[in-house]
Structure 1
Amino acid sequence: MKTILVTGGTDGIGKGVATHFLKKDDRVIVVGSSSAKGDLFLNEARQLGAEGRAIFLQANLSLVNENKRIIEEVKSRFHSLDRVVFCATNHKPRKEYSETPEGFEFSFGLSYLSRFALSYGLKELLENSDNPVILNVCAPGMNGTVNLDDIQNKNNYNGAKARYHGSRLNDLLGVAFAHNDTIGKIKYILFNPWAVQTTGTFEAYENPVTKSIMKLIYKTIGKPVEEAIFPIIELLENPPKPSLSAYKQRKEVSLAMKTFDKENAQKLLNITVQMLEAYQKNI
């Protein structure tokens, strides 16, 4: 029996992945912000006869301290982790720059800083398993740049661009993690699911007309969650041999793309570490 941790596991892709592994008799730890959705997940696990293997941990992953709490709780309860899957996100872009109570831009905190903290914070538990994997659901394979002088998008803020920027940050997170992992046991996979028919995707559009149009488009080009998770499951069950890989659905993405620049990845790592150290000193 494997132990899998899934952030954002009460909705969409995360829930699909979590449910799949529960049905395979694995232990699944789901982290989500909604206690109501967590209760639904646990109830569905009971219906599957998997209540003893389903764990829900409530947390606001946009907060550094909440990520630290989750890391410590998982460490106190489990000796190892086999798979960690990052799916937690917020599809609805914010109209204006807004910070969490800890002083970090919300999207930056949830889509990048949380995944950074959990990647490194759970590393020891992953290394206690035989064939550990981190799968980061973001958007590798898309062009774009990272502004290392303004990684939180404070200047000329645009909510949609901030979310897109977060995916580029995750590209570099994967590169730095693999490059600095001297043990080299963990396989880090960046995964782009492309268009998926989830409720959260449509919640990103407030205008009723735009929402209707996007629903029509996604009905045409998008895949239902049950189908969209197939490539994810394949990668988790048969991980690639390289320490870092990236995929857009089933198509491998070249790590020679500029979005995976090793120098930028190391710079971002240093900036992030310094940022977190400064935060710790001020609390």
Structure 2
Amino acid sequence: MLKTYVITGGTDGIGRAIADTYLERGQEVVVVGRNAGKGEAWLDGARQRGAAARAHFIHADLSRLADTGAVVERIRSSCAQVDALVLCARHFRTTRAVTADGFENTFAHFYLSRFVLSHGLADLLESADAPVILNIAGPGGEGEICWEDLQLAREYDGQRALMQGGRLNDLLGVAFADARPGTKVRYVLLNPGTVSTSFSGQYTPDVMARIDVIRRSAQPVHEAMVPIVRLLDAPPAAPLSAFVRDVPISPHGPGFAIEEARRLHLHTTRLLADWETGTTREASGAGKSRTHIGTSN
């Protein structure tokens, strides 16, 4: 049976390995990426393997909400169902940057886009027999959520932004399952460990030197793929699950508190509603009233 796999960050690293794996298995694969050249190279490879009809590339910058929304609409207009949504896209920034929408870049790219894609494609996932969302974001991390400054306007650090983003994605998974009792969709949070990929991002020379050291000792992509393929082929029975590589961890511990997940979900829906009505500015904390969400202090 032909299945449809949607993969963000699918032109490089783990995302590309997943895309290639399922394309070679004869499945329909939709890759989303910001680099048009890499996207065309992936399509060229598909054509050479005789799989051009099943390979699709959507050029999008997922730090931009308009681009993310356009991805959702394009998939909805061309796909009857989505069997797997794999969220891999990540981009590190040593220095803080604000998108044209007024959001901190890591918050927008690493969290907001995954929220919009998860919820925006939920009904297409429900149309599949055994649908799964695989969110590769590092569950179980020790990052602290700065509730009063989610976009780190006051004390930005690139690693801190990524670690907080991992925590926000944990809560995204909790809230997704909480909002859909009885859903067929299995939400899987995965920390693949340190993998030797391109480490997409903007780095200072000293940080890049540390990344080069990490890359040399990191596991190769083909090793990281083993538990990923296993989870995609046979999603867990529970609506929400979390793994560090192939080791399950409880999605009910302190880092997965339902109260925090609901708080974040409410804040995010309000933030997106304000953006859609054109009132969003650079956001500060989740503890503000709706009229102040998106307004810098």
TM-score bracket, normalised by the shorter chain, equals: over 0.9
SS of structure 1 residue aligned to 2:91: coil
Distance 1:161 1:212 in 2: 19
Identity %: 39
Q: Measure how far apart 1:98 and its partner are.
A: 2.0
User: Is contact 2:94-2:204 (8 Å) kept?
Assistant: no
Q: Residue deviations 1:167-223, cap 9 Å, x none?
A: 11000000000111134110000000111001226x665326x64554344433x11
User: Is contact 2:7-2:15 (8 Å) kept?
Assistant: yes
Q: Any residues of structure 2 matched to 1:77-92 within 5 Å, and which? A: 77-91=78-92
Q: Which residue of 2 aligns with 1:240?
A: 236
Distance 1:277 1:119 in 2: 16
Q: Residue deviations 1:62-117, cap 9 Å, x none?
A: 111111111111111111010000001103x232x321111111111000000000
Give the letter for the 2:30 counterpart. Answer: I
* Cα gap change, 1:241 to 1:21, in 2 (>3 Å): same
Q: Which residue of 2 aligns with 1:277?
A: 273
> Normalising by structure 1, what TM-score?
0.94
Give the letter for the 2:66 counterpart. Answer: N
Distance 2:202 2:105 in 1: 15
Distance 2:17 2:182 in 1: 31
The runs of 5 or more residues in structure 2 that have no matched partner are: 280-297
* Cα gap change, 1:257 to 1:145, in 2 (>3 Å): farther
Distance 2:204 2:274 in 1: 37
* Cα gap change, 1:212 to 1:147, in 2 (>3 Å): closer
SS of structure 2 residue aligned to 1:229: helix
Q: Which residue of 1 aligns with 2:263?
A: 267
SS of structure 2 residue aligned to 1:118: helix
SS of structure 2 residue aligned to 1:108: helix
> Normalising by structure 2, what TM-score?
0.90
SS of structure 2 residue aligned to 1:56: strand
Q: Which residue of 2 aligns with 1:194?
A: 193
Could you list the runs of 4 or more consecutive aligned residues of structure 1 that deviate by over 3 angstroms after TM superposition?
203-206, 210-218
Give the letter for the 1:26 counterpart. Answer: Q
Q: Which residue of 1 aligns with 2:117?
A: 118
Give the letter for the 1:235 counterpart. Answer: L
Distance 2:10 2:186 in 1: 21
SS of structure 2 residue aligned to 1:157: coil
User: Is contact 1:140-1:168 (8 Å) kept?
Assistant: yes
Counterpart check, 1:215 vs 2:222 = no
RMSD of aligned alpha carbons: 1.5
Alignment length (residue pairs): 278
SS of structure 2 residue aligned to 1:263: helix
Give the letter for the 1:19 counterpart. Answer: D
Distance 2:78 2:214 in 1: 44
